Homo-oligomer: A and B are copies of this chain.
């Protein structure tokens, strides 16, 4: 069957996800949904104006919730990034708006009969992922947030720049909230065949500085562009492909961890059935404490949001 993917929220991120999918032939049918009908039609037409010059054909539908009934994946890029603009980079500035939008979208998704997997990009992603799961009633393992898959890529960017290495030759994770309480679990980061902590010691590198740079990079992107799109879209599509190909890839994403009773970013095995298996890291005591703090914070925000 053709791979059918719907993207809801065709702003900077949603449109970039769509473009990446079309350019690389990652889906056969794409449903684009946005409350701004003129905008979503415009994006669809712009994509169709590319089709004659592209090697692969992608079928595009617009604002058709009915088409979700047999979609494989729905990606939520719903949000209003402008709300974040005058705040101190707080993804929670978007929450009141996106919370409402997510509820409304989730109800429409539910009504469509959708029974595939959801990928949530919308911020604050751990909270919004919870809302989507709660309202759609989909199994927890079928509703996944991109979480710190982006932050981990940023960490790898900072490490790779410091060491002159391909970021794909670095393994390891940022964990917890895709937000201010997240942290790099340095005990999981390996590079050059060794733990990063050991390499840092040998080369007298300051891990704190590298962590700062990883975060500052993201901040600089946001401040100069007023949004970020390429890094996050690439992360979302990588997650999508792991599901569509049933790859059983280990990726760090926002998934429901029973021991924390909340969604938070922690590696998991991703396949056609969503979260097909948990991973159990061997974290340090300090990292476990940070993760607990992050989990508590997310849980509090989720509770607030579900009660709001």
A-side interface residues toward B, CB under 8 Å?
A: 1-4, 16, 19-20, 22-25, 28-29, 36, 38-39, 41-43, 45-59, 70, 72, 149-150, 152-154, 156-157, 160-161, 164-171, 188, 190, 192-194, 217-218, 220-225, 228-235, 237-238, 241-242, 244-250, 267, 269, 272, 277, 279-282
Contact = CB atoms under 8 A, between A and B. Distances in A.
Contact of A279 (B46, B192, B248): B192
Contacts of A238: 53
A54 B24 CA distance: 11
Q: How many copies does the complex hold?
A: 4
A98 to B, nearest CB: 21
A52 B222 CA distance: 19
A3 B19 contact: no
14 contacts: A1-B4, A38-B220, A41-B220, A41-B224, A43-B225, A48-B231, A49-B157, A49-B231, A49-B232, A52-B168, A57-B242, A57-B245, A165-B248, A165-B269
A267 B29 CA distance: 25
A49 B154 contact: yes
B2 A164 contact: no
A59 B281 contact: no
A228 B59 CA distance: 20
A1 B19 CA distance: 20
A274 to B, nearest CB: 14
A51 B245 contact: no
Contact of A2 (B19, B167, B171, B246): B246
A72 B2 CA distance: 8
A50 B165 CA distance: 15
A16 B46 CA distance: 12
Contact of A245 (B2, B53, B233): B2
A192 B280 contact: yes
Given A1-B70, A28-B244, A49-B231, 15 more contacts: A1-B2, A42-B225, A48-B167, A50-B233, A52-B157, A57-B246, A58-B245, A59-B245, A160-B248, A165-B249, A166-B242, A166-B247, A171-B171, A193-B267, A194-B282
Ranked 5 nearest A-B pairs via Cβ:
A49-B231, A1-B1, A55-B55, A42-B224, A50-B234
Contact of A224 (B39, B194, B245): B39
A171 to B, nearest CB: 6
Nearest to A51: B167
Nearest to A169: B250
A170 B277 CA distance: 15
Contacts of A28: 3, 244-246
